[in-house]
Amino acid sequence: MESTEKPAAATADSAPDLSLPVVSLRVGLPQALGVPEATEALHRPWTSAIFKQVITKPIRLDTLNLAGDEQADQRNHGGPDQALCAYPAAHYAYWVERLQLPLTAGSFGENLTIGGDYTEVDVCIGDVFAFGEAVVQISQPRSPCWKIARRWQLPFFSQWLQETGFTGWYLRVLQPGLVDPTDVLQLLERPHPEWTIARANAAKYEQRHDQELVAQLAACPALGERWRLKMQGRANGFLPLNDDANRLVGPNAE
């Protein structure tokens, strides 16, 4: 995983001057995919909104999603804590070189592809941004699921995303409004500088045996509900530490 060092300029009292450019803004609706009656797992029928289309003009951002964007599996995706999915453009060169695939903005089903060199080490849970007319807040890292692997026909791709820490993150909407592909995300507040997305990923995956650290993450008031419940369960011993296999593999298993 990337370094979990928190940004040097980050303090709870004053947010650093941080503007995240948007490389692309995308939305998509669920589609029926795969090959009917296929026997190979990666070719079987599935439904996903992972294929998203570029938006070139202002669009409404509400508390659950962008206009024209939906989730196929609303049990595990979507909701107020997952209104927007963001992924750093900085990671694309790594994946293109490693996989020799033509990955471009939107290849991970993200709504926002974040430009520049900004990654999970540069943003924190609870960060509040102005985004066009809207105000958004980072809620949790993205937990890669089996659909990314299915989309690229690589059974271990979702696991590689998790292992590298190149996961991206989710945002909730504090104030709805119009957003434009030319807008930037301007940091307004940083209430939890100690919890970069990179450190949260490390607490869940690399340092999951550190119950004190896991409990501290669970206590972060800006953490998304799904992650909070998971971390509370681990800290209290109610959930196994290695409980990610079904999410990562799902129906891709033979």
Burial of 57 (0-12, 13-18, 19+ CB in 10 A): exposed
Domain extent, residue 27, equals 19-252
> Once rounded to an integer, what is the mean pLDDT over residues 93-122?
97
Flag whether 122 is in a domain. yes
Instruction: Identify the pLDDT of residue 3.
Output: 44
Residue-wise pLDDT for 150-164, tens only, equals 999 999 999 999 999
Flag whether 51 is in a domain. yes
Q: What's the domain count of the chain? A: 1
Flag whether 32 is in a domain. yes
pLDDT of residue 238 exceeding 70, the answer is yes
| Least confidently predicted of 114-128, 189-203, 233-247 | 233-247
Residue-wise pLDDT for 166-177, tens only, equals 999 999 999 999
Flag whether 140 is in a domain. yes
Flag whether 86 is in a domain. yes
Mean pLDDT score across all residues of the chain = 92
Separation of alpha carbons 172 and 151, rounded Å: 25
Flag whether 3 is in a domain. no
Write the CATH number for 157: 2.40.33.20
Backbone torsions φ then ψ of 147, nearest 5 degrees: -70, -30
Instruction: Identify the pLDDT of residue 69.
Output: 95
**Residue 14 binned pLDDT confidence (cut-offs 50, 70, 90):** low
Flag whether 8 is in a domain. no
Element (H, E) at 226: helix 225-235
Separation of alpha carbons 201 and 141, rounded Å: 7
> Once rounded to an integer, what is the mean pLDDT over residues 132-160?
97
